[in-house]
Chain A
Amino acid sequence: DGGITQSPKYLFRKEGQNVTLSCEQNLNHDAMYWYRQDPGQGLRLIYYSQIVNDFQKGDIAEGYSVSREKKESFPLTVTSAQKNPTAFYLCATRTGGGNQPQHFGDGTRLSIL
């Protein structure tokens, strides 16, 4: 989706290191989400934010942290407490109610060095 930019495309983490994945959107959407995808599996929700300065834990928040200081940005930090961080990470946004779908970025592939 051209309106959601995730960077970097590939990221490598050393033991004990925190890394931050970027997600920026120009769609003016209120809600933003972070998902984790492991090989051959579906998406699992890490964190989500409905408005600026507010966010909630998803199903697998342990070892991750987020911030939502601006409407356009929702960075995800993978901390050293996340012992198995190797996965594909997807950011999504959504606006409105009802049947509005989530729109996804192109993802970041995180690997351990």
Chain B
Amino acid sequence: AQTVTQSQPEMSVQEAETVTLSCTYDTSESDYYLFWYKQPPSRQMILVIRQEAYKQQNATENRFSVNFQKAAKSFSLKISDSQLGDAAMYFCACRMDSSYKLIFGSGTRLLVRP
């Protein structure tokens, strides 16, 4: 069975600093897609960034970037120049190419200190 693991229940970062959230996954498939979603207190699920497993280049979206290590099955999220509005739950998710299902990790709560 495919699984997604986020080992950090909570992380804290000083405003304007950089923080990295960890995510590992387990799959036997070679084609899959990885996502990071943000869930602020409003509880909306907002897509932050996505990565295709067949792409070697790490995805980047403004202050958000990933470190995708396919052999290690690791997909960490780096947030640069952290802002107060970044405070939220962050969920890592994986979808296998052969499935319509999205498997979520348990989430990491990010606190941003002013």
Main secondary structure of the interface of B (DSSP, over half): loop
A101 at the binding interface (Cβ < 8 Å): yes
Given A42-B104, A43-B91, A48-B101, are A101 and B35 neighbors across the interface (CB < 8 Å)?
yes
Main secondary structure of the interface of A (DSSP, over half): strand
Interface string of B27-39 (1 = CB under 8 A from A): 0000001010000
Chain A min CB distance to B94 (Å)? 12
Interface set, chain B 33-63, CB cutoff 8 A to A: 33, 35, 42-45, 47, 50, 52
A110 at the binding interface (Cβ < 8 Å): no
Most chain B beta carbons < 10 A, residue from A40, A90, A102: A102
B102 at the binding interface (Cβ < 8 Å): yes
Give the number of chain B interface residues (Cβ < 8 Å). 18
A98 at the binding interface (Cβ < 8 Å): yes
Interface set, chain A 39-53, CB cutoff 8 A to B: 40-45, 48, 50
Given A42-B104, A98-B52, A99-B33; 16 other pairs, CB 8 A cutoff: A1-B44, A41-B107, A42-B91, A42-B105, A42-B107, A45-B102, A48-B101, A58-B101, A88-B43, A90-B45, A92-B45, A98-B33, A101-B47, A101-B50, A104-B45, A106-B43
Please list the residues of chain A having a beta carbon within 8 angstroms of any beta carbon in chain B: 1, 31, 33, 40-45, 48, 50, 58, 88, 90, 92, 94, 98-99, 101-104, 106-107
